[in-house]
Homo-oligomer: A and B are copies of this chain.
């Protein structure tokens, strides 16, 4: 959270074309406090509170971007992006192409996604694969404070429209974050942990759950390699393919609903690569159940992958019990 705020602050200090717009991001500081205090430094002309108008917010960001600004939009809960779809998909994503490659639409849309806070079915979605499926958009999904700041700054500097998916549960994560400005290039997968027995590709909050799982499995002598794509599109395939060639096995873990999700894309990419010949087990997906997120805490917990599920899936896959 502080990492994201710091990133936005520095970008705004450095470049006066950068501004932030969304619901309750000013004095309120954002529903999760991410923008807290920014209005004191930059004022209400650059930290802009909007009416509840998500199509309008998207339009504001697109129109400003195409006329020389570098806006950062905020969708309070990523679920509400359903109201911005027309603007993001039909306008923001396509303008450059429709206009013959002659327009730049450099914006970043930040969205708080994910379950785990008891917010139920309309406040817990993980919709990233919708946007992976939209040519023209880039999709970023950080899993640590360090990545969050570096990727956000890279996204702000990028000349394309970018969907930046944050996970609510990660806002409280602690981790080392350099004070100075730095960027992590978009389109670079990150090998989070090395191992020889299984390649585990995880996104967002599932990266830390995978790390915990890997530690438990290490005690059993199973060595998991964890890769975080960080940018879902454009996807940096090579580290993933290289890893699968090494381990011969792949497990994909994401929170979004399995059917129609990003895991299928990843599975196909692996299969279509040279890694296919090295696979000695099917690539498997561990993902959210095909259901809306329930309110009940216990059901909510079981609706998406947890550490113990990852341990179990990974173990089965390594031991050939699938």
Contacts and interface: CB of A to CB of B under 8 A. Distances in A.
Nearest to A131: B260
A133 B122 contact: no
Contacts of A97: 121, 291-292, 294
Interface stretch (A44-52, A218-226, A279-287): A279-287
Nearest to A262: B260
Interface string A231-271: 00101000000000000000000001101111111111101
A104 to B, nearest CB: 16
Nearest to A120: B98
Interface stretch (A17-25, A84-92, A182-190): A84-92
B135 A292 contact: yes
B259 A271 contact: no
Contacts of A267: 264, 267-268, 271
Contacts of A262: 260
A94 interface: yes
14 contacts: A82-B89, A82-B90, A83-B86, A85-B85, A98-B121, A129-B129, A134-B257, A135-B257, A135-B259, A135-B292, A268-B285, A271-B271, A271-B282, A272-B285
B259 A132 contact: yes
Given A233-B259, A267-B264, A268-B285, A133 B130 contact: yes
Contacts of A259: 132-133, 135, 233, 235, 265
Interface string A69-111: 0000000000110110110011001100110000000000000
A257 B135 CA distance: 8
Contacts of A260: 129-134, 233, 262, 265
Given A82-B89, A85-B85, A94-B121, A276 B282 contact: yes
Count of this chain's copies in the oligomeric assembly: 2
A129 B32 CA distance: 31
A269 B80 CA distance: 30
Contacts of A261: 133, 265
A150 interface: no
Interface in A263-310: 263-269, 271-272, 276, 282-285, 290-292, 294
Interface in A113-170: 120-122, 127, 129-136
B94 A292 contact: yes
Which of A83, A235, A268, A272 has the largest count of B CB atoms less than 10 A from its CB?
A: A268
A264 B132 CA distance: 12
B82 A86 contact: yes
